Structure 1
Amino acid sequence: MLRRSILAAALAAPAILRAGPAKALEPVDVELVLAVDVSRSVDAEEQEMQFRGYASAFRDPRLAEAMMRGPVGSVAVTLFTWSDWNIQEHLVPWMLLDSPAACERFAHFLDTAPRRTHLYTSISGAIDFAAGLFGQGYEGTRRVVDISGDGINNSGRDIALARQEALDQGIVLNGLAVLDRTPPPAGLGQMQPLDEYYQERVIGGPGAFLMVAEGFESFEQAVRRKIIREVASVPAPGPRVERAFA
């Protein structure tokens, strides 16, 4: 028995040596996951406003400056869209942003990303998917998820469970609630104001905050201000809720 164990170990050793040590994660100031709502309450024009808003934010010199200001001098960012509990589309892979040129490359991904609309609104599914994206090539001093949307959780598991599991992993959940002036589809009406819902049930973690966009017309301004605040290496104390107006 002992002889067989020694032989098995000897045969396995070359494979272990060939595999080599795991590649070390590259340090960054922040790992930031951007989660964008593409449920049916977001029409084609509003979805385009979202993508243009994100692209414009990454082309803003102030954002690049904020990203390079930390001790490491870089952040890692990725973006996916979400809708139903089982629908998340990872559109922009993790990218190291440490210069205006790198930010421009990220914005170009957004310019050319497909625009697709789905049905329901699963914030819990978005949180679960986002939590699984960390630790893929980068290690940030902070791990932040930025969830933008215009509706409450109506698909998938209990949002409280998803939220708590993310917080237990040390993830900060920030929100960008869009107060859409278009009434929700029949049967999907919401009883609680969306900004209150995000405050109470979505955001959480040290320094978590909510940006409220008063209509999709103010989305670009809202997302720019929000990401600049998120990538700061040592976020200055700020209001728990900020509002952007067109």
Structure 2
Amino acid sequence: MFVTLARPTLPIMRWLILAFTLLTLPASAQDTDLELVLLADASGSISQAELMFQRDSYAQAITDPAVLDAITNTAYGHIAVTYVEWATNQSVVVPWMRIDGPETAADFAASLAGPPRGATGRNAIGSALLFARDLIEGNEIDGWRRVIDFSGDTTGNSFGPPIEVARDEVLAQGITINALAIVSERRFDSDTLAQRYADRIIGGPGAFVVEAGVGAAFAEAVKRKLILEISGVPMDRVIANLDD
């Protein structure tokens, strides 16, 4: 299983920086702690059952008491989240929603269940990263932190811009990219996937990769990664799957 993490608290220095920022910026400058794009794999390697399991895992995670504690423990007490599936094209499953407690988290979780699969085909990771960037840049939310949470089981890139080119364009906008590397016995190269994500996809302040297995290990990894992302706690660049 994953190492049990103590409930993270906001570092004192971060509070001081935030207090200074709020005093020196217009009142409307920043209105939430985190803008978070959950960018989930829906390419051909992901079956319909796996796709729905991914959605269910995120639904369980976003409503988990530990994740809700992390949200309410942020400086603003709320975050903004959207859920997107990627393949050759990208599909917004749940538009931007502000989550500030159990009720709004439950609304987000319920919204994951209904929409049909909209993203199909092969891999276009570079395009997916740029699509997520545009969602952040084009919304009417001004978050203190802006993060793309990419998940997948490959670094294949059949269509669109090269991964590294897209990543650098995203990072140039001050957006951090984290990743969930889904390790599967079906793929011969899964043992190096997390490191390849670290080398080619993630970037920005505090960026990290969480390695995840399938089934219960995946669901636990999703929860742990959300806690770390929301809390902004510095971590190792690669967090291994310990479910052995």
- Counterpart position of 2:142: 139
In the alignment, which of 83, 95, 108 is matched to residue 79 of structure 1? Answer: 83
Letter in 1 for 2:209: L
CA contact (8 A) 1:172 1:204 kept: yes
Q: Does 1:38 align with 2:42?
A: yes
Q: Which runs of 4+ in 1 moved over 6 A?
A: none
- Counterpart position of 2:236: 239
Please, what is the CA RMSD of the aligned residues? Answer: 1.9
User: Cα distance, 1:217 vs. partner?
Assistant: 4.2
- Counterpart position of 2:208: 209
- Counterpart position of 1:230: 229
Distance across 2 between alignment mates of 1:223 and 1:104:
17
Segments of structure 1 that go 5 or more residues without pairing to the other structure are 1-23, 184-188
- Counterpart position of 1:6: none
* TM-score under structure 2 length normalisation: 0.82
In the alignment, which of 145, 149, 152 is matched to residue 149 of structure 1? Answer: 152
The percentage of counterpart residues that share the same residue type is 38
Q: Does 1:195 align with 2:194?
A: yes
Cα distance change on mapping 1:164 and 1:216 into 2, 3 Å: farther
Segments of structure 2 that go 5 or more residues without pairing to the other structure are 1-27
CA displacement 1:110-149 (0-9 Å, x = unmatched):
1223235622111111100000011412111110000000
Distance across 1 between alignment mates of 2:154 and 2:111:
26
In the alignment, which of 163, 166, 174 is matched to residue 167 of structure 2? Answer: 163
Distance across 2 between alignment mates of 1:130 and 1:225:
22
- Counterpart position of 1:122: 124
Cα distance change on mapping 1:26 and 1:238 into 2, 3 Å: closer
Q: Does 1:28 align with 2:26?
A: no
User: Cα distance, 1:172 vs. partner?
Assistant: 0.3
User: Cα distance, 1:192 vs. partner?
Assistant: 8.5
SS at match of 2:121: coil
CA displacement 1:56-103 (0-9 Å, x = unmatched):
10110111111111221110001110001xx10011111011111110
CA contact (8 A) 1:153 1:159 kept: no
User: Cα distance, 1:215 vs. partner?
Assistant: 2.9
* TM-score under structure 1 length normalisation: 0.81
Greater Rg over alpha carbons, structure:
1
